[in-house]
A = this chain, B = another copy of it.
Amino acid sequence: MTETTATRIAADPGYLRIATEEAFATADMLERYRALVAGGKFDDPGFHSLWGFYLSSPSERARLIIDRLQNLGEVRLQDMAASGIHHQVLSLTSPGVQVFDAATARAVASAANDELAEAVRRHPDRYTGLVAVPPQDPAWAAKEMERGVHQLGLKGVIINSHTHGEYLDAPKFWDIFAAAEALDLPIYLHPNTPSRGLIGPLLEAGLDGAIYGFGVETGMHLLRIIVAGVFDRFPKLQIIVGHAGEALPFWLYRLDYMHAASVKSQRYANMKPLERTISEYMRENVYVTSSGMPSAPAITLCQAVLGVDRVMYAMDYPYQFVPEEVAMSDAFPMSAQDKKAFFQTNAERVFKIQPAS
């Protein structure tokens, strides 16, 4: 970061900057990722593309990310100070424990949640944490969510899209939704690389990662959840997606039109009528964040179609630790009130963060 950049970030812009999609990793989990990459038995081309790169690339980008992911102490706090971030909502980085067998996933998630809770206890005014869960074991995941809230003081759940190629619209996962609704815990549906059935021509062209594949995988996952009727069954459930809503806010008209046309013409046996339109679920059960998308046209579109209460700031630290982008987000063409909702008060409400006095 240059001195010029630092001076461009206002120290007191009239709101606190709460960043809502910020990543960490435990050393234990990264060691296990290393073993999966090296082992030659784990058959998930997206995982190999993503973590094969980060764990072996000599590039500055990869080395900084691996280093910063594992730091929940002074280095992270200094980076936050240098980029004007008051508070981070932290989650175990993608794909979390979702690549392991169930027993390993339970053990790694439990330890990661303990480690995160300890960091939050040390810096309660700087960090809020989300519970990592293994969808491989939905009943255990539901219990871990309860432990996360009641014993660890965590404030939401992180799930990194598909788990061994399966998606949360399958009813076997719905214990997780039931627990989230009962505990009033929002679920952050974070990208994973596209699953095996989706990744082929994306991977061929180097488009499987954050450039495009993440959005395809995660936008599709949220759509699957909606069209399966999850929000009819769990009407109070709230799901958060990053990257300007993975472009679903842009697509709303077509989603509504084509869903209605498909249902009316009975094109798919498993596409049943829903109680509300897709855009209504998006406005009533979905929050979006600006992670990776400090783009005024995209974020103001999200506010226009979802409402200003549904759009929150995120940096995507350390993957997109770009202080200049904070200044870009500060400059979004919004009223002072809307900007405070975007940077601060929406996140305080959604994650039950104690408002700063």
- A266 at the binding interface (Cβ < 8 Å): yes
What 0/1 pattern do residues 250 to 275 of A give for CB contact below 8 A with B? 11111101110110111110110000
Find chain B residues with CB under 8 A from A253 CB: 293-295, 298
Find chain B residues with CB under 8 A from A57 CB: 265-267
- A198 at the binding interface (Cβ < 8 Å): yes
Q: Which residues of A in the span 259-305 have a Cβ within 8 Å of any Cβ on B?
A: 259, 261-262, 264-268, 270-271, 292-295, 297-298, 301, 304-305
Chain B binder among A12-20, A76-84, A222-230: A222-230
- A210 at the binding interface (Cβ < 8 Å): yes
User: Shortest CB–CB separation between residue A321 and chain B, in angstroms?
Assistant: 12
Query: In the bound complex, how far is the Cα of B250 from the Cα of A227, in angstroms?
Result: 23
Centre residue among A219, A244, A258 by max chain B CB count within 10 A? A258
Question: Are A262 and B209 also in contact (CB < 8 A) when A215-B251, A295-B252, A301-B298 are?
Answer: yes
- The residue from B211, B216, B293 contacting A262, defined by CB atoms under 8 A apart: B211
Listed in ascending order, the chain A residues whose CB lies under 8 Å from chain B are 53, 57, 59-62, 162, 165, 167, 169, 195-202, 205-207, 209-212, 215-216, 219-220, 223-224, 227-228, 243-244, 247, 250-255, 257-259, 261-262, 264-268, 270-271, 292-295, 297-298, 301, 304-305, 320
